[in-house]
Chain A
């Protein structure tokens, strides 16, 4: 039997920094209450032509100072979110600090890019021809692997440090990579997930492609409307979600609280288009994942959809789910509550799904009053539903034509 066949990977801790709270319990309660973090961003008006809405994280004053300055000085906002979430995940897992420093624990954290705010600051300094006043730490905030190395250093972690940059699939890819590092025996544990920060410039990049919610005239919390007939594009969010992955025997030996086993993961490129999701490649990704898990689609109890509320993306994902699962597996998207947290979305929504599994309740898609014709034929969850979940599926699809799917099973 190969090493890969012998080893199993479980999740033993989770932590997040979200627009709906910094505690997993509070976060879930607010999701369940139907709260949306989407709000108006009046300061963004001069930079955007559309309604300036986003789902920002609001940290209580001084909380970032819990991170010592020598670590915090190289962190942009996204790295601060990540470090705060990692600390909580690690604490929840009960993994001792000595183990984190043993070289047997990885840190894999993805994001679309480095700190957007810091990149804009650096650009302004260069444009003003004022490079002499560029802070020394600016590079460390802007670098693509900023959240990963900042979090690893903050934790004193000495194993593999990796940072997949696959836009909206980054966080899920990070968890998949962490799983593979443990399956292969390279590491025994991994702190994995995604982090992202939102700025008007990030939203503007979606606006340019007509992918950002525009023209919705209702209150801001109704702006993000996945699968809905009147969906109008995505709303950008931010935050960080981190999970602690651990080799099963390692976790069992120390009596860790095991949330689930990751039984399947796959990622693939669509091979055709940088921005247009393609249902055929989504089906292929889901199929690869189920083959990896060695279970059938009918065994899934819930699908946490990517569904960002773009016209094209939701339609393609719905088509793929119909084709692969049929119409009986419950589906929902949390983008109505949280906006699209981009590289963090896979991890944050995975944490919400783990809580759904633990509590036996599926959270609905918010703002889904009328299902679009092109998204119909699925079991859309539209109100909180009592439902036993043994197996769930998390989907993420990213600009660049990148798909990722992960399957978790109760242990």
Chain B
């Protein structure tokens, strides 16, 4: 997945699951304060991301540090890059 595909996949979760219009999905938007999600939504966001990207996030420390939508994009861009690295 390239960056554009990752952003589109994440945005589709916000649009379909949380019914947020696409024009509000800017990288600097804070997930709680600007996009209006709460602690229950965050659990469902994780479930959506786990299903979409096929990863387990519950015990991931990095995901807990996410504040903005851009942080989510970057988290999965890094994850996909790691997945693409040749195994030694």
Taking Cβ atoms with an 8 Å cutoff, the residues of A that contact B are 69-70, 73, 132-137
Contacts and interface: CB of A to CB of B under 8 A. Distances in A.
B40 A136 contact: yes
A135 B44 contact: yes
Interface of B: 18-19, 36, 40-41, 43-44, 47, 50-51, 56, 58
Contacts of A135: 43-44, 47
Given A133-B47, A135-B43, A137-B40, 8 more contacts: A70-B36, A73-B41, A132-B50, A134-B47, A135-B44, A136-B43, A136-B44, A136-B47
Q: Which of B18, B41, B47, B50 has the most CB of A within 10 A?
A: B47
Nearest to A65: B19
Contacts of A73: 40-41, 44
Nearest to A68: B19
Main secondary structure of the interface of A (DSSP, over half): loop
A24 to B, nearest CB: 30
Contacts of A133: 47, 50-51
Contacts of A69: 18-19
20 contacts: A69-B19, A70-B36, A73-B40, A73-B44, A132-B50, A132-B56, A132-B58, A133-B50, A133-B51, A134-B47, A135-B43, A135-B44, A135-B47, A136-B40, A136-B41, A136-B43, A136-B44, A136-B47, A137-B40, A137-B44
A112 to B, nearest CB: 26
A263 to B, nearest CB: 44
Nearest to B51: A133
Q: Which of A134, A135, A137 has the most CB of B within 10 A?
A: A135
